A = this chain, B = another copy of it.
Amino acid sequence: MSALPPAVQAPPPALDTLHRCRALVRPALAAAVERLHPWMAEIAAYSFGWCEVGGAPAAAPGGKGVRQALAVLGAESAGGDGRAGIPAAVAVELVHAFSLLHDDIMDGDATRRRRPAVWKAYGTGPAVLAGDALFALAVETLAAAPGGPGAVRLLSAALADLVRGQADDLLFTARPCAGPERVTPGEYRAMAEHKTGALLGCAAALGAALGGAGERAVTALDRAGRHLGVAFQLVDDVLGIWGDPEVTGKPVGGDLREGKKTFPVLFALGSPAARRLPALLGPAGCAEEAAALIEEAGGRTAALAEARARTALARELITGLPGTGAAGELLGLLDHLVDRDL
């Protein structure tokens, strides 16, 4: 018996939540990966940071495991045992890993978490195939879980959104910086919701569905995750321009020199104050001057205001859930992800 009623206990810090959920999910995730073809299992283990190329054990940094935590907390928010959310947690982590493998090929990103990206370490063909293997394993895991066709429908909708977001992201790079063909902040929001938000929302919603939550709670968590995804992306954009390189691990002005069409840039491009901005972007531009101009045009303020608004919406959806045993931890996670050294 607990000395205090649960409502009075302070929720554990977000890092403890992430750690607890990773520990809960890890055996099932490892067991799923072991069902793969041995070659594919090694590539998957490499991508999770569990081994080196060749299979020697490693403890390289994997992801934070935000998606698996959302699935476990989703199940707990339904008043159930977090273990009910494990198949959802495994499925969303596998989907996330699949999308990183394929996105790194498409974006030509040679490193991931300070190690060679899978396509650099194993070759493009094997990286494509390992992504497919992870994708198939995710569907298989969820189809075998007791969640029924509703769970697979939730996952496949998120997968469709994920692809849609990545397609838009790839197309944005070819669009002009000015004129009627330029990317609008609204298009960017939709892309971020699809590319980042859909899987976060799906993680929490799937966990809740497997934990026995009603449709209202499932939908609320899906929407909360989507808002969180947009907020997270916007904060990332701000840190990519004005963040401390010591903390972000990214070079100062890197996003601007790469000419990335992030939200602050797109917002500023719509302002007459930033007419000189297009010339300052890209490898031949001036990142410092561009950053100042974007700030002057309100790009930074708008991005942070939107991130705060999205976080508030997510917070409202979570606190409005019935029987919110896990709400404290969900909110803690939310703050941890959005309030990153701003």
Contacts and interface: CB of A to CB of B under 8 A. Distances in A.
A102 interface: yes
A62 B195 CA distance: 31
Contacts of A170: 125-126, 129
Contacts of A140: 153, 156-157, 159-160
Contacts of A105: 124-125, 128
Interface in A35-82: 35, 37, 39-40
Interface stretch (A161-169, A208-216, A217-225, A330-338): A161-169
A143 B155 CA distance: 10
A263 interface: no
A268 interface: no
Given A125-B105, A125-B106, A153-B144, A167 B37 contact: yes
Interface in A222-258: none
A133 B135 CA distance: 11
B106 A129 contact: yes
Contacts of A163: 37, 40, 129, 132-133, 136
Nearest to A139: B156
A152 interface: yes
A149 interface: yes
A277 B76 CA distance: 63
A183 interface: no
A139 B148 CA distance: 14
Nearest to A169: B129
Contacts of A152: 139, 143, 149, 152
Contact of A129 (B40, B102, B143, B157): B102
A137 interface: yes
A3 interface: no
Interface in A113-130: 124-126, 128-129
Nearest to A161: B136
A286 B101 CA distance: 40
Given A152-B149, A160-B140, A166 B106 contact: no
23 contacts: A35-B160, A39-B167, A40-B163, A40-B164, A40-B167, A105-B124, A106-B124, A106-B129, A107-B125, A125-B170, A128-B131, A129-B170, A132-B159, A136-B156, A139-B156, A140-B153, A140-B156, A140-B159, A143-B152, A143-B153, A143-B156, A144-B153, A152-B152
